[in-house]
Amino acid sequence: MRTQVKREELKDGEVLCQYCTGKCCRYFALPIETPTTWEDYDHIRWYMMHGSVSMFVDEGSWYIMVHADCEHLLPNNFCGAYETRPSICRKYTTDDCEYDNDAAHEKLFETPDQIWEYAHAVLPVRPRRTVDDPVSLPVIAG
């Protein structure tokens, strides 16, 4: 395990990456539209059923987070493709990275059940079908 040093304790020539566990290389997150309907939450639940996927909310924006180590992350947590890394990695700096961030989010959902429970808490009650409701099936053109 690496020794955690404070940002302000770095010596000249040192970078935070020397002391990090590669947090920024172990997932990616993409913004999504804020869910507002049962269908939206059902889609999110479906995303989360596909493995290492979480959802989080920060500053009111929703994100899907895919937990997957970069294929170039070395055992020492350095980049094995540093010289040819993608531009998104080149633009990323340690100025405001998550090195010493506790990863606290406004909302964090780690299982499909959690997102479904949240949907039940924030959405209006779903109308239940009755035996008298017509069944609407997809029409297959023939």
First to last CA, the chain: 64
- Count up the domains in the chain and report the number: 1
Residue 47: give the domain boundaries: 7-122
Asked, for residue 142, whether it belongs to a domain, the answer is no
The 10s digit of each residue's pLDDT in 43-67 is 999 999 999 999 999 999 999 999 9
Q: Cα 36 vs. chain centroid, distance in angstroms? A: 19
Asked, for residue 102, whether it belongs to a domain, the answer is yes
Q: Given pLDDT bands bounded at 50, 70 and 90, which one contains residue 19?
A: confident
Asked, for residue 53, whether it belongs to a domain, the answer is yes
10, 15, 21, 103 from 6: Cα distances, Å: 7, 11, 14, 17
The 10s digit of each residue's pLDDT in 83-104 is 999 999 999 888 878 877 776 7
